Structure 1
Amino acid sequence: MLLELEPGGNIAALVRGAVGESRIVLIPATLDPLTMAQAKAAIGPLAIELAPAVRVNAVVATGGADPADVDAAVTFLENAPSTTGQLLDILAR
């Protein structure tokens, strides 16, 4: 399940409140630096907390990232059954 973190959103509540065995958080590059750091730091602990029943991963699409690359990263994480706690930064080409 793809979850989009909104500016000012609570990543822990977003992930814990979702349904499904795979939860992928799309973290927008527009977050302020502190919120971005907190969101990135939360992925590993949330993955540990919800394992083994749920996989938690994240994708950060930096400004100018190709939407096709973001989609490919999400698809990869959705279909990688042994991958959890990972954060993929998608950079502009």
Structure 2
Amino acid sequence: MLLTLEPGGDIAALVRGAVGESRIVLIPANLDPLTMAQARAAIGPLAIELAPAVRVNGVAPAEAARHADVDAAVAFLEQARSTTGQLLVVG
């Protein structure tokens, strides 16, 4: 399940409130630097908290990232059944 973190959003509440065995958080490039840093840092601890029943990963596209590349990163993480706690930065 793809979850998009909104400006001012709470990544922990977003991930914990979602349903499904795979939760991928899209961390947009337009977030303020503090929110961006907090979101990136939260991926690992949330993955540990929800394991082994749920996989938590993140995708952080750069401002110039192509939509197709972001979609490919999300698709990869959906299919990577043994991957959790990872953040893919798409340039």
> If the TM-score is normalised by the length of the shorter chain, which range does it land in?
over 0.9
Distance of 1:60 and 1:88 partners within structure 2 = 6
Q: Per the alignment, in what secondary structure is the counterpart of residue 27 of structure 2?
A: strand
Q: Percent identity?
A: 80
Q: Per the alignment, in what secondary structure is the counterpart of residue 28 of structure 1?
A: coil
Superposition RMSD in Å: 0.4
Q: Deviations over 1:28-71 (max 9, x none)?
A: 00111111000000000000000000000000011010100000
1:48 aligns with 2:48: yes
Distance of 2:70 and 2:30 partners within structure 1 = 15
Distance of 2:80 and 2:47 partners within structure 1 = 14
Distance of 1:33 and 1:3 partners within structure 2 = 19
1:64-75 matches, cutoff 5 A: 64-75=64-75
Structure 2 partner of 1:61: 61
Residues paired across the two proteins, number: 91
- State the 4+ residue runs in structure 1 displaced beyond 4 angstroms: none
TM-score (norm 2): 0.99
